Amino acid sequence: MARLIQKGKTLKEQVYAYLKDEIIVGNLKPGERLIEGKIAEELHISRSPIREAIRMLEKDGLLHVHPSGGVNVVKPSIDDFRLLYECRVEMEPLAAFYAAKRRTEEQLEQIQLNLEQMAARSSQANKKMIHEINVNFHESIVKASGNPFLISLITQFRGINSFYRQSILDENPHHMNHALHEHQIIYEFILNQDSNKAHEWMKKHIENDFQIFMKQSHITAGESDE
């Protein structure tokens, strides 16, 4: 692990960001126990900012702190992902609706840039990079909604959604190509300020994502039982 030396951020914030990334990309596995002393030694810092970061990650739903004091990475289930989907399928289409109404030219350029980056890297094997670009695309639309309350709500479950997806099964490259096509459609409706169509297609996109995910998860579960 590298030393945490980012200027302008507290150690607590840096440890939080670092551990969150380690959990989401799978370097810290679901169910794995976190040892404060080991993390402190590896990062060359005291335990105090680590404890503060752990409390933040517990609030995010990524860590479980036991009454006895032990800390484990949450081990999500298919049902957890299903409940999270119920939130996404209502809130993200709403964000797309308002993004089409309120987006600035600068925000539109950012959405387009994310789309172009995803298209350029969709055939690469770097799943972490593809995932980050995909998240950036969705986040740029949420920000373009111009609604700080909606942005806050969606941001709260963005990290845990990424974690749940990657904890249950890996991304399917064919799914990414299909997602890219739907992203392009959503972008066009936001570009043309067609709020109703932007809402409709974002909802289709999330519904399709969920159905593909559930199908793959059942296949994976079946294979693991054999």
Buried b vs exposed e over 161-177: b needs ≥16 C-beta within 10 Å? bbbbbbbbeebeeeebe
> What pTM does this model have?
0.78
Instruction: Outline which parts of the chain fall under CATH 1.10.10.10.
Output: 11-73
* Residue 88 pLDDT > 90: yes
Give residue 91's pLDDT band: very low, low, confident or very high (50, 70, 90). very high
pLDDT digits (tens, 9 = 90+) for 104-142: 999 999 999 999 988 887 666 566 677 788 889 999 999
Instruction: Outline which parts of the chain fall under CATH 1.20.120.530.
Output: 78-225
pLDDT digits (tens, 9 = 90+) for 35-68: 999 999 999 899 999 999 999 999 888 999 998 8
Can you tell me the distance from the alpha carbon of 14 to that of 55, in angstroms, rounded to the nearest whole number?
14
* CATH entry 3.30.499.10 includes domain 11-73: no
Buried b vs exposed e over 191-206: b needs ≥16 C-beta within 10 Å? eeebbebbbbbbbebb
The confidence score (pLDDT) of residue 68 equals 84
Domain at 78-225, CATH from 3.50.50.60, 3.40.30.10, 1.20.120.530, 3.40.50.720: 1.20.120.530
* Residue 224 pLDDT > 50: no
* Residue 191 pLDDT > 90: yes
